[in-house]
Amino acid sequence: MLRYVVDLENRTCTYFGLHDQTYMEHYAAVEPSGGAPTS
């Protein structure tokens, strides 16, 4: 991997390698739980 680009709006991360290779990961949306964790 030479570099990567994170797109927060589209929830993707694209990795760039040698010889114009690319790999993109998609992430699901996560809703905040609305509260602080308790111990």
Tokens encoding 30: 């996560």
* Residue 34 belongs to some domain of the structure: no
SS3 category, 19:
helix
Output the pLDDT for position 16: 98
CA quadruple 1, 3, 11, 22: dihedral, nearest 10: -50
Average pLDDT, 10 consecutive residues per value, the chain (39 residues): 96 97 96 74
Output the pLDDT for position 32: 85
* Residue 22 belongs to some domain of the structure: yes
Q: Show the beta-strand stretches assigned E in the chain.
A: 3-7, 12-16, 22-26
* Residue 16 belongs to some domain of the structure: yes
Do the Cβ atoms of 27 and 12 come closer than 8 Å? yes
Tokens encoding 10: 């589209």
Q: Which residue range forms the structural domain that includes residue 11?
A: 1-28
* Residue 35 belongs to some domain of the structure: no
* Residue 8 belongs to some domain of the structure: yes
Report the domain count for the chain. Answer: 1
* Residue 19 belongs to some domain of the structure: yes
* Residue 9 belongs to some domain of the structure: yes
